[in-house]
Amino acid sequence: MTVACTYDHRIIQGAESGAFLGKLQALLEGEDGFYEEVFLELGMPYQPVKWQSDRGAALPGFRDDKRFEEIAKQAAVLQLINAYRVRGTSSPT
């Protein structure tokens, strides 16, 4: 998602605009229980998914080579998609 902020520079200075966009980003990343509050207010009987850092994928023999990290992630995604197509689940059994 891209968010752009336009304003009249005679009213709002760049620093305030930057602070606003920073706060908006923090909320979209789940800070201050933002999504929990949204779910509660909407009466949704679920818990929102928590933001997590991407876990590193590894290819055998390339553990310390950053060049192959992206390839390993793509391979893992393709394996997951295939598992759902073939078995209807992500479980390998």
Render pLDDT for 35-86 as a digit per residue (tens, 0 to 9): 999 999 999 999 888 877 766 666 566 666 677 777 878 888 898 888 888 8
Q: What SS3 state is found at 30?
A: coil
pLDDT exceeds 80 at position 90: no
* Catalytically active residues, by annotation: 9
How confident is residue 93, by pLDDT bands cut at 50, 70 and 90?
low
Cα separation, 90 vs 93, in Å, equals: 9
The sign one gets for the Cα dihedral 57, 59, 60, 64 is negative
The pLDDT score that the predictor gives to residue 45 is 93
